[in-house]
Chain A
Amino acid sequence: MPCTPADDWMRSPGTVNAGQSWSYNIPARPGDVIKLQARALDKFIKRERLFVVHDNVFFNQHGEVICSGRGWTIRPQ
């Protein structure tokens, strides 16, 4: 499973995890090939901090959703 490259903006140094919600649909098993689809849904300023809303969905080789999550990060401005 290729990892998000270290120079991707999603991995910018100083990013703080503010909270998340993960749902697990079906089990991932040995031998499965996992694909992550991740995107930023929103950026907003709250209490003078830059928040980003993340949407992450993991698929197996059959295109089935294994798990999905919504996350919030606080980022360097």
Chain B
Amino acid sequence: MPSRDRNSRSAAKSIRLFCDASLDYNPLHLDDDYMKGNFGKTNFGGVIMHGMNNFGLISRMITDWAYPAGAIHRRLETRWLKPIRPGDTIQPTGIVKSKQATVISRWVLIDVVVRNQNNEKVATGEGHGRVPAEPAVRILNLEPVPGFGPGWAKGPLKGLFRLTFDRRMA
């Protein structure tokens, strides 16, 4: 999956922007003094980025890739491994790990890894894309031919039917 520059994000400016965009003004993202305290056994030492900011960046990487390919973004699951701090730059990457075709769709599973400027893994995840299968033709009408069987009687279709269809537009 190609990574683009627009997919890497520097955290300092992004954290403040994301507070306003999400209305999430949790002190984790704003108050360095608050963050000098302990969270159980964890001490972050300063503000950290919203997880959903990272999630949005990964989502955009997937949709940038999927939409031009005619696919849709169906699911994304992530785990946060390390906090992201002001001054960090992160970049997600995606690797297609499996593909499967069913009657209704083609499905793609994507392994996601987000790394910071020191090449440390800060998040992992799994994305799920779907390429809807388009029928080759569109059914316009289906009608029984009079005199050739019971037509729309209850149960399975019996007799002769006339099918009208056209080629489906791409």
- Nearest-CB distance from A64 to chain B (Å)? 16
Q: Of residues 31 to 74 in A, which have CB atoms within 8 Å of B's CB atoms?
A: 47-49, 74
Q: Which of B50, B72, B73 contacts A17 (CB 8 A)?
A: B50
CB < 8 Å neighbour of B27 from A14, A21, A47: A14
Cross-interface CB contact of B40 among A15, A24, A74, cutoff 8 Å: A74
Would you call A15 and B26 a contact (CB within 8 A)?
yes
A22–B75 touching, CB < 8 Å: yes
B23 at the interface (CB under 8 A from A): yes
Cβ contact within 8 Å between A21 and B40: no
Q: How large is the interface on A (under 10, 10 to 19, 20 to 34, 35 or more residues)?
A: 20 to 34
- Taking a contact as CB atoms under 8 Å apart, the answer to whether B73 and A14 are in contact is no
User: How many A-B Cβ pairs are below 8 Å?
Assistant: 56
Interface string of A5-41 (1 = CB under 8 A from B): 0100001011111111111100000000000000000
> CA A49 – CA B25 in complex, angstroms?
22
Asked if B51 contacts A20 (CB within 8 A), the reply is yes
Does B41 touch A at the CB level, under 8 Å?
Answer: yes
Among A6, A14, A21, A47, contact of B39 (Cβ-Cβ < 8 Å): A14
Complex contacts, A11 vs chain B, CB 8 Å: 24, 26
**CB pair A76 B41 closer than 8 Å:** no
**8 pairs from A and B in contact (CB 8 Å cutoff):** A13-B28, A19-B77, A19-B79, A21-B75, A22-B77, A47-B41, A49-B41, A74-B39
Residues of B at the A interface (CB closer than 8 Å) are 23-28, 34, 39-42, 50-52, 55, 72-80
Known: A19-B79, A24-B74. 12 other contacts (CB 8 A): A14-B26, A14-B27, A16-B28, A16-B42, A17-B52, A18-B80, A21-B76, A24-B72, A47-B41, A49-B41, A74-B39, A77-B40
